[in-house]
Structure 1
Amino acid sequence: MRGVDVRVATLADLETLLRFEQGIIAAERRFDPTLRPDPIHYYALSELLASPRAVVLVAECQQRLVGSGYVRIQAAKDYHLHQQYGYLGFMYVEPGHRGQGINGLLLASCKQWAMAQGLTELRLEVYADNQPAIRAYEKAGFAGHMLEMRVAI
């Protein structure tokens, strides 16, 4: 996509990344009645930025951050064929920039980083009712694998 660059995030981006995190939480509240009231955080962003086992990426348009995502190297279960995989998270595109292919650019860059680390699989979690996100991930080649279920008691 012309005019959008994907790069590795730095600590200088932290303020914007924290705002993106709150955007994700606000969007996902309608899908998850188990979330505590604000303020909450999903991610330890400073730790992710410093970790050699993860990369936080940002999409930049006209010198302004408009999207984010990360890949973290995770240990696989002992019974899986692979020993580790890339776990995707923090996927966010600002509302005014959605539908322009930015999420696809971020996903492709996450995949490239994971492959460079020798990983052969990417995984992510998405709320079952979040159909726009599911469609975006399916467009990028992801398929449903395991459905986590819950019941309040």
Structure 2
Amino acid sequence: MLSKNSVFTCPVADVLGVLGDKWTGLLLRDLLLGINRYSDLQKSSNITNATLTSRLKELENNGLVEKQLYQTRPDRYEYQLTEQGKDMAWLVLAMAKIGTKWNLSGWENVPLHFVNKATGNPIRLTLLDEDTGEEIGLDEISAVRKA
């Protein structure tokens, strides 16, 4: 049992610290979908300019995106996901799966589906035993805290 003064740090806390708020998650979604210019990111999520600028800077400072100049006079940039940023796709896909399953907004038709680019078939996230490659369920998972 942890005392009130102890701090339990873990990879989940680290990722949540980087994400910060819903705007960062929505920007990651858009970047994963190939929306990478400032004005397009603003339109897609209806985020204010001040919030967009702040969140993009945080994503850059945390190593999730890189700015790339695509126009001069005036200078304009695209935002590209780094390898670390691309790994955040797992979170976006998991949130989409849960959001679709529980339909918290009550859509008639779910507005976003993820599919295999090559086949158009729906994809799904699964948990696999690393050694055997067998699919496992959530009830078969145990977290082990390393000292």
- Name the TM-score, length of structure 2 as normaliser: 0.32
Determine which structure has more spread, i.e. the larger CA radius of gyration. 2
Q: Could you say which structure has the higher helix fraction?
A: 2
Q: Could you say which structure has the higher strand fraction?
A: 1
- Name the TM-score, length of structure 1 as normaliser: 0.31
